[in-house]
Amino acid sequence: MSVSRPERPSAPGAAAAGVASGDRGQALAPGDRGQALAPGDRGQALAPGELALTSLADATIERRLGEGGRSTVYLGRLAGRREAVKVYKTLAILRHARKHPVPLARYEHERNRAFHAAPGLAPYVAEPIAFVQTDGVAATFQEALEGQLYYFHHRDTQGRDAEELLFHLRRVVDLAHAAGLHDIDMHSMNVMVVPGPAGRPWPKLFDFNLIPFDVRPPNPLVGLLLRTGLMSQRHRDLRKLRNFHDSRRVERKLLRFYDRPPDGGGGK
């Protein structure tokens, strides 16, 4: 079993972490207060007591925030602060294990930390808090973001803030690449729009479980192009930026998880 709960630095420029919910959550511990995280038939349940023997035993769960192809996300509380709890689905755990030796929860937490620690990126990245990886569950704890997924924000505002937000997203890509971080998996369901300075919309990244294509090329041709220098590590990020508002693939793959636009949080 792997559990990590690193010391948390303050995040400069971070948006408010509170998301309105009830006053009390359900403890993830044995006994009457134990509340299973049961995201449905597609999900990976976090059973009562699963965290009881770890340093995350005091975590509580308040409500479900959203779901995606790889995980279901809940609003929880840890050490007196509200956090987003991403619980990975069994199939996602197995698929990741076939592709990468580092278990999924640890992998995403460490990649999230790398982005958050990169010079200039902390204001654009949800703060990583902790992860738990046992035989029964894989989950990460992360700053809970109060906002709206970019896809819904763009739709509801009819693109009013598109240029301002794309300016920031270009800066995110430049800062990430300067730090040696590539393949950000940036699309409109992986960016949360939160209140920024002077109340202006501000993008924050929260999903970090994609294995970069230069680490695991999707096919032999891409691997050859990367090795020979005919394709840059920057290629996929720059292409996604150019096509950021082409949401056909996002709509086909992810909208099925939403009965209505969520108020905050997201799964992937």
3-state SS class at 185: coil
d(CA 204, CA 185): 13
Q: How many CA atoms lie within 13 A of 263 on its CB side?
A: 10
d(CA 151, CA 258): 12
The strands making up 201-205's β-sheet, listed across from edge to edge, are 148-149, 191-195, 201-205
For 67-98, the pLDDT digits (tens) are: 888 898 989 888 888 999 999 999 999 999 99
d(CA 79, CA 14): 18
For the beta carbon of residue 109, count every other beta carbon within 10 angstroms.
28
Residues 6+ apart with CB under 8 A from 107: 96, 100, 209, 211
Q: In which band, very low, low, confident or very high, does the pLDDT at 259 lie, cut at 50, 70 and 90?
A: low
Q: Are strands 71-78 and 81-88 parallel, antiparallel or unpaired?
A: antiparallel
Q: CATH second-level architecture of 2-24+37-143?
A: 2-Layer Sandwich (3.30)
Domain residue ranges in the chain: 2-24+37-143, 148-257
Q: Which stretch of 102-116, 120-134, 186-200, 253-267 has the lowest confidence by average pLDDT?
A: 253-267
For 153-181, the pLDDT digits (tens) are: 999 999 999 999 999 999 999 999 999 99
What pLDDT, on the 0 to 100 scale, is given for residue 61? Answer: 81
What pLDDT, on the 0 to 100 scale, is given for residue 57? Answer: 61
pTM to 2 decimals? 0.76
Q: In which band, very low, low, confident or very high, does the pLDDT at 117 lie, cut at 50, 70 and 90?
A: very high
For 8-54, the pLDDT digits (tens) are: 433 333 332 222 223 333 333 322 222 333 333 233 445 445 555 45
d(CA 74, CA 262): 12
Q: Which of 63 and 108 is assigned the larger pLDDT?
A: 108
What pLDDT, on the 0 to 100 scale, is given for residue 52? Answer: 52
What pLDDT, on the 0 to 100 scale, is given for residue 19? Answer: 28
d(CA 60, CA 25): 5
- Report the DSSP beta bridge partners of residue 131: 4, 140
